[in-house]
Structure 1
Amino acid sequence: MRLLLFFLICAAGLEAAPNILLIVADDQRPDTVHALGNAVIETPNLDRLVACGTSFSRAYAGYPICHVSRAQILTGNAAFKALPKYPEGAIDPKLATLGGTLQKAGYHTCYTGKWHNDGHPKQRGYTTTSGLYSSGGGKGVTQPEMDERGRPLTGYRGWTFKDESNKAELDKGVGLQPDNSRNVAEGAIHAILSAPKDRPFFLHVNFAFPHDPRQWPAGMKDRYEATKMKLPANFAPRHPFDHGNIDGRDELLLRTPRVENEVREELAIYYAMITDLDEQLGRILEALPARDETIILFTSDQGLALGSHGLLGKQNEYEHSIRSPLIICAPGLPKNERSAALVNLSDLFPTLCDLAGVATPATVESKSLVPLLRRETERVHEFVTGAFTDTQRMICDERWKYVLYPKAGREQLFDLQNDPDEMRDLSADPAQRERKDELAARLRNWREQNGDPDL
């Protein structure tokens, strides 16, 4: 059977197909890359990727929660279709997956790092795992309740690294440890070095940083001085209304009203976690056998508030949370490019298929970004959308954003061209009534077409 597969791969020309490296951070804001305008943060390896590819300034997560955003990437579909029991539950088994599609095309597929969807990566099209980090395996092991700052160690309770047989590697600790990104990188490097030489590989790496509980990574203590951290331009002591997650775990990590010094301290650790992730990314890039001939994508499952609009978490439709950094590098494509085109993270599935010369499955409803990458067009989407539980729905075009809060009975309208920090809500402005109604109607139509269960 393996011999037959080898001949099929050769016949299809995949022995010369490019390797693929997909890296996904966790909760990394879109404004946290030095080369893209953040003068404070240190990200030399992300800067290298920026220089060798195209950076998208308006890449939207679609749903700002880890497992849902990742389900959209895995299936190339919006949340309502990726998860039949939206927003929880299993990925629709009728949908093709990114790993499975590339595996069937002859790729060796490997998954590394955080797995936050149902089942196991091997059930979703990945041939193997290396450095898998997932829930369970820490039963009976005592975890610290508080960090060194005396704050609760929330999130990732009981999570452990697993070997390929899914046995917990307790020597790497339980929960989100300060060296998590290093362990993820070790798994990715092992996967690269042990990948078969007779076919291309697809390595999907999901970091767990800079998600909370935020801790100084090893060797990064006080890398950024809290007193010198600049608060976001749209920092506020509190959000003006319950947006749908005002009492969520993320929002309770710091006091409300927000205290400026506490937010600065959180930002300092957050930046250190990103710089540490960047360092580990550099190690992975150095391990690639032919980096210039490899398709490399970097993104995050969504952003984070961290004081913006009085919020801390990602469960909102503001740009700092619903958008992600996105950098795409591939052989033969323009370098050091910037694109302000509207794109979705779910577009990564057909984009990778297109770049690899693999047919995109019929179940994928997202769009390839290759025409943008090749400068063949300036637009693949007229608008993008966002959602969170039954409490938030969003639509935005190249200039305007409309947000609906069904439970709160609120609306927002922002002019992103003149107000990129979304500090002036124009929803009550009579001069914008027609524009607001037009966007609201377009949003409702999209919800109907995509099976929104809360209509």
Structure 2
Amino acid sequence: MRLLFLFLAFGLGLQAAPDILLIVADDQRPDTIHALGNGVIDTPNLDRLVAVGTSFSRAYAGYPICHVSRAQILTGNPAFKALPQYPAGAIDPKLATLAGTLQKAGYHTCYTGKWHNDGHPKQRGYMTTSGLYSSGGGKGVVQPDMDGRGRPLTGYRGWTFKDADNKAELDKGVGLQPDNSRHMADGAIHALKTAPKDKPLFLHVNFAFPHDPRQWPAGMKDRYEAAKMRLPANFAPRHPFDHGNIEGRDELLLNTPRVESEVREELAIYYAMITDLDAQVGRIFEALPRPEETIIIFTSDQGLALGSHGLLGKQNEYEHSIRSPLIICGPELPKGERSASLVNLSDLFPTLCELAGVEIPATVQSKSLVPLLRHKTERVHEFVTGAFTDTQRMICDERWKYVLYPKAGREQLFDLLSDPDEMQDLSADPAQRKRREELAAKLRGWRQQNGDPNLE
């Protein structure tokens, strides 16, 4: 009954200083929510969120790597400005942070889950942590090198959960374990139960799933049958050129050329990890103390390829990787709506400030999405951009996408209206020369304005 009340209450117009719940998944493709068109995956809690909020189909990460994407969310700035030593991980200390801004406005700010930026959450405006998951603390603990499928255990080696005093909780395992999402939900629920009652709450939950190493969550073994998994429409055995990460760790997780059966197996486990994450999200929803006065946002730091275009990782500018799912709901906000407007994940900072009645800091470059949510405009961005190291730069408007590969000496041009899966590169089409040049010039101008250190 409580969960039903949560999803009905948003329409009642109940308003106080709103609590805020910001949930960020890790590497979740934008096409992995049942209610938004994926008929294979089960995501009942996210589906309910879709029913009571606004779902953005064109939310762009800006930089498809965890720590950089999250730095953009934390500061409301593009990567070149958020990280002075781009693409190194240290956030510019001169920039206001989302949690610090809300804390100064009277919020109790708490962080749960994966911390992949420099320093500690308490150095970025979070007053407390609960269920913190970060590097270090596993020294001397012997970790297996292989998973249950006989594949290398990649990523998060030596990472541990930490208690409120930042001491490792080794009983929860070292590295990315199959029950990782449950422990993070436990931390979030504890934070909700112990938060001060006299302050509004900002709870930021960063999950680590469905990032690799992909493992069946507890009770989810063979939840999805590999042989029945649908390959992406743009599946390919290999990428046609080195896009800047062809030998990167993510791309070496499976054989090249890609074997369909191996990709299907990876997809099956990936879907199971998302379904398990969805269940944990539901547990957090149930524990909300003021559901009718809570702004809830669900997104992911970026997507993932998993066979699309012959790639596995997220380090690319294709829609499956540079975009993220994004759902926003809360008191007096529209329910059950879809928006195809161009938005950035970094826009969440000013959006939450405006919804909470908090002044947006001068250092924030991104734009509030409140005018979109409240139907006061149909556009907040003329275009959005993407970047990865010094090897990829991207710009796209409502229809066209242009990608520049400076190191490879390549370009791509896609008509996202007629070719949403980006299967037909039009960059060499003489009929599109003017369009390509216009987008290239606009991209170069944006790079100059935002201090791209790799501008030729």
Give the alignment's TM-score, normalised by structure 2. 0.96
1:333-366 deviation digits (Å, cap 9, x = unpaired):
1100000000000000000000000000000000
Query: 2:23 aligns to what SS in structure 1?
Result: strand
- Distance in 1, Cα, partners of 2:431 & 2:277: 46
Alignment pair present for 1:74 and 2:74: yes
Alignment pair present for 1:51 and 2:57: no
1:24 alignment counterpart = 24
Q: Where does structure 1 lack aligned partners over 5 or more consecutive residues?
A: 1-14
Counterparts of 1:70-219 in structure 2, within 5 Å, are: 70-219=70-219
- Distance in 2, Cα, partners of 1:90 & 1:146: 31
1:239 alignment counterpart = 239
| Deviation of the 1:112 alpha carbon | 0.1
| Deviation of the 1:16 alpha carbon | 3.3
Query: 1:39 aligns to what SS in structure 2?
Result: coil
2:290 alignment counterpart = 290
- Distance in 1, Cα, partners of 2:194 & 2:128: 11
- Distance in 2, Cα, partners of 1:139 & 1:277: 28
1:280-335 deviation digits (Å, cap 9, x = unpaired):
00000000012132000000000000000000000000000000000000100110
- Distance in 2, Cα, partners of 1:399 & 1:325: 19
- Distance in 1, Cα, partners of 2:314 & 2:112: 23
8 Å CA contact 2:62–2:345 kept in 1: the answer is yes
Percent identical pairs in the alignment equals: 87
Query: 1:16 aligns to what SS in structure 2?
Result: coil
1:327 alignment counterpart = 327
1:105-138 deviation digits (Å, cap 9, x = unpaired):
0000000000000000000000000000000000
2:6 alignment counterpart = none
- Distance in 2, Cα, partners of 1:289 & 1:149: 41
1:418 alignment counterpart = 418
What is the alpha-carbon root mean square deviation over aligned residues?
0.6
1:318 alignment counterpart = 318
2:277 alignment counterpart = 277
| Deviation of the 1:51 alpha carbon | 0.4
- Distance in 1, Cα, partners of 2:38 & 2:89: 37
- Distance in 2, Cα, partners of 1:68 & 1:362: 21
2:227 alignment counterpart = 227
- Amino acid in structure 2 at the alignment position of 1:412: Q
Counterparts of 1:353-372 in structure 2, within 5 Å, are: 353-372=353-372
Query: 2:393 aligns to what SS in structure 1?
Result: strand
- Distance in 2, Cα, partners of 1:16 & 1:192: 17
Query: 1:379 aligns to what SS in structure 2?
Result: coil
- Amino acid in structure 1 at the alignment position of 2:52: C
1:12 alignment counterpart = none
8 Å CA contact 2:18–2:356 kept in 1: the answer is yes
2:262 alignment counterpart = 262
1:184-232 deviation digits (Å, cap 9, x = unpaired):
0000000000000001000000000000000000000000000000000
- Distance in 2, Cα, partners of 1:142 & 1:206: 26
- Distance in 2, Cα, partners of 1:168 & 1:252: 30
1:5 alignment counterpart = none
Extract structure 1 runs of 4+ deviating beyond 6 A: none
- Distance in 2, Cα, partners of 1:41 & 1:291: 26
- Amino acid in structure 1 at the alignment position of 2:264: R
- Amino acid in structure 2 at the alignment position of 1:275: T
1:3 alignment counterpart = none
8 Å CA contact 2:16–2:293 kept in 1: the answer is no
| Deviation of the 1:67 alpha carbon | 0.1
Alignment pair present for 1:300 and 2:300: yes
2:343 alignment counterpart = 343
- Amino acid in structure 1 at the alignment position of 2:341: A
2:4 alignment counterpart = none
Query: 2:231 aligns to what SS in structure 1?
Result: coil
- Distance in 2, Cα, partners of 1:375 & 1:349: 19
8 Å CA contact 2:181–2:207 kept in 1: the answer is yes
- Distance in 2, Cα, partners of 1:360 & 1:272: 39
- Amino acid in structure 2 at the alignment position of 1:444: R
Query: 1:42 aligns to what SS in structure 2?
Result: coil
